[in-house]
Amino acid sequence: MLNFHEKILQNLQTVTSPVALVSDPDGILDEERIAKLLSEHGYEQIIYDDPIAFRFAYTSIYDQRSDKAPKGIRIVVLRRPKHDLRNLPYDLLQGATQISFSLAELFPNLSYPIIKELEHTQLDKLYNAYVEYQGEQLSDTATKEFLLKNIYGIALEMIKTRADLIKILISKHLESIDIPKIIGDYFIHLLQRNPEFDDWPLEKIVYQRAELLLFLQESWKNYITKVASKSGGIYHSIVPFDQSDIRVYLNNLFFEGWLKPIQCSEPELLPAWATVGILTDPMRQRQEQIEKLMNRVQREMPNIQSSYKDWQQLAVSWAELSVVRHEQDTILTPNLESKIEELQEIIEARFEAWLLDKYASIATLSYWPKPVMLHHIAPYLAHRRRSLGDKKIALIVVDGLALDQWFVMRDAISRLNRNLYFEETWAFAWVPTLTSVSRQTIFAAQIPLYFSDSFVTTENEGRKWRKFWENEGLQNQNIGYYRGLGAGPISEIETSITDPNICILGLVVETVDKIMHGMKLGGTGMHQQVGLWIQKGNLLELIARLWDVGFSVYLTSDHGNIEATGRGRPREGCLVEVSGQRARVYEDVLLLKQVQNEFPDTIHWTGQGLPAGYHVLLSRDRTAFSGKDEKLVSHGGITLEEVVVPFVWLKKEKR
């Protein structure tokens, strides 16, 4: 039997014309494995969205570089219903084959409004379950139950106790399985009928791994405190840690570093099995925690064939390791430091190879149900505004915030404001990871190919942000954009926050970027300064003020950063367009080649999506175009820390 990806390929292989016009309203061809399969069989996809942008891209690929143009069938993808294909330009319609893919057509016995919310990575599993299904057409509710059982392995009738639910949630989150909100909300609704879960924060722990781990960590602390205070007596915890089947999971969570051992003043009063989560020798156990995190990173290590989600997951684990590594009281042995550096080199080599091979393919992925790249964020927010009722949206872009620094921020915010929680996902920045390039893709909602006029400047961000939202039907007076935030009082933008006409805000906070460019103490110094900024700065005040007037608040970053060592400065004078420490941009490719001859261990980045006339040279590994052996924190390159950044919905807990 064909799998789902092969089924899609089989349908396309009936096309014999040089151009196929494909109606793909659900973004099926965006699915990573399908896109890879089509590329391997000579198909070249190009999205038809904005007519002018499409024509520019189409001629750039096929006319101006005809000698290098793809030789296979060109697939022009329209992310709208098939009847809209007839509205495409006449020259495209001439001689082209028209074909349609939609979830409604492929799975007619399931509820379309439900299945369209699935992540595309689940479509193969859905297809396999569907071909075995011989029943009648399912309602919305029946479709949700079908998906819970067949896609997510959740049999509702098997969840009777707290232990049952904890085991399911731990398995789901540690495998990085995300349940769409429309299905997750139904799952939560059913759980809320069971009084066992009356005091559980289901809306948090069902969706977010960080929230589940925080819930378990706090429950463990309460459990140990109560048991020790009862001199060995019985205490019934909100989480049944003392049940044997839960202990297996508990041991693994501590062993893998997901949970942290805590202090106990009277450990002799605890049952023997509980010592796995007790801090007895902080220095030794901190070393052990780092080793456990390293083991997890090694086990999760993707390769060149891996999915972008595998690399996102590794970025999270690596960032968690970085947080522990740079904590103030962490002292690493030379042997352990050496092992971390070796692991770092392996990650960088593999990620570089993966980016060079796969980066172009993720740029065309759909922004829904989650943005994959930074230029997807604005369309994602627009979809939420159109379809899910988020009428007032504020996007905070923290310039230069790396994933590990977000974790430091998140922990500091959680300590200061218990009413704030997070729905987290991760996005890929644009390469080169320079502010003028990657941040501009956020506000323009476009790949760099379309802003060649402002490729090396951020001056047009506000105009591009307004243009995107005006195309969504808003007026200029409804849209706000401010940069340079972070140091001064929020009274600077109070008028815009409270203006009843403004329903879209783009806000650039530059504090972390300024900390980074003055940092001489590496990762440890960055973490300390970011944590101090959250305590002393006004970010929490800004978020609270936005909430007060009804904004949904989102936070992201344009790129991360790394600690680098100078390799020497190129001597190109004023001929370089952008003289970054990790990336140089040239208009003359011959000049780039000349500099690359001087610094051979560099990368001439030719990734898809760059405008014509700009040539990018990247400093490889953790080196920088700066003074020889100079230590600095910088960005622009393609390490995991620079490329994978947070995208977070900051939510206020309902009371």
Could you give the angle at the alpha carbon of 521 between the alpha carbons of 516 and 526, nearest 5°?
45
What local confidence, expressed as pLDDT, does residue 60 receive?
66
**Listed residue (310, 167, 177, 317) closest to 245, CA to CA:** 167
What local confidence, expressed as pLDDT, does residue 418 receive?
76
Counting the structural domains of the chain, the total is 6
What local confidence, expressed as pLDDT, does residue 121 receive?
87
What local confidence, expressed as pLDDT, does residue 66 receive?
40
507 and 478 part of one domain: yes
Q: In this structure, is residue 314 part of a structural domain?
A: yes
Q: In this structure, is residue 108 part of a structural domain?
A: no
412 and 553 part of one domain: yes
603 and 483 part of one domain: no
- Rounded CA-CA distance 352/624 in Å is 16
In whole angstroms, what separates CA 482 from the centre of its chain? 24
What is the mean pLDDT of the segment spanning 386-410? 94
User: 3-state class of 464 per DSSP?
Assistant: helix
203 and 331 part of one domain: no
Task: Give tens-digit pLDDT for 493-520.
Answer: 999 999 999 999 999 999 999 998 887 7
491 and 548 part of one domain: yes
532 and 612 part of one domain: no
In whole angstroms, what separates CA 627 from the centre of its chain? 33
What local confidence, expressed as pLDDT, does residue 67 receive?
41
User: 3-state class of 513 per DSSP?
Assistant: helix
Which has the higher per-residue pLDDT, 269 or 403? Answer: 403
Q: In this structure, is residue 175 part of a structural domain?
A: yes
C-beta atoms surrounding 458 within 10 Å = 18
User: 3-state class of 110 per DSSP?
Assistant: coil
Backbone angles phi, psi at 649, to 5 degrees: -95, 115
540 and 400 part of one domain: yes
CA–CA distance from 652 to each of 215, 381, 426, 567 (Å)?
17, 18, 20, 46
CA–CA distance from 463 to each of 266, 445, 481 (Å)?
62, 12, 9
**Residues 321/290, Cβ–Cβ less than 8 Å:** yes
C-beta atoms surrounding 284 within 10 Å = 10
- Rounded CA-CA distance 430/234 in Å is 55
Q: In this structure, is residue 347 part of a structural domain?
A: yes
Amino acid making up residue 128: N
193 and 238 part of one domain: yes
Q: In this structure, is residue 10 part of a structural domain?
A: yes
| Domain that residue 322 falls in | 283-352
- Rounded CA-CA distance 551/557 in Å is 19
What local confidence, expressed as pLDDT, does residue 306 receive?
93
**Domain termination residue (choose one: 261, 279, 297):** 279
Q: In this structure, is residue 310 part of a structural domain?
A: yes
Q: In this structure, is residue 433 part of a structural domain?
A: yes
Residue 91 pLDDT class (50, 70, 90 cuts)? confident
243 and 299 part of one domain: no
- Rounded CA-CA distance 382/384 in Å is 5
**Domain termination residue (choose one: 352, 378, 396):** 352
337 and 461 part of one domain: no
CATH code, 409: 3.40.720.10
**Listed residue (388, 376, 396) closest to 442, CA to CA:** 376
Amino acid making up residue 132: E
Q: In this structure, is residue 107 part of a structural domain?
A: no
229 and 330 part of one domain: no
User: 3-state class of 136 per DSSP?
Assistant: coil
> Angle 209-229/162-174 helices, nearest 10 degrees?
140
Average pLDDT along the chain? 89
577 and 647 part of one domain: no
Contacts of 85 (CB under 8 A, 6+ apart): 21, 23, 78, 93, 98, 100
What local confidence, expressed as pLDDT, does residue 236 receive?
65
What local confidence, expressed as pLDDT, does residue 333 receive?
85
CATH code, 93: 3.40.50
Bond prior to 113 in cis (omega within 30° of 0): no
pTM confidence score = 0.88
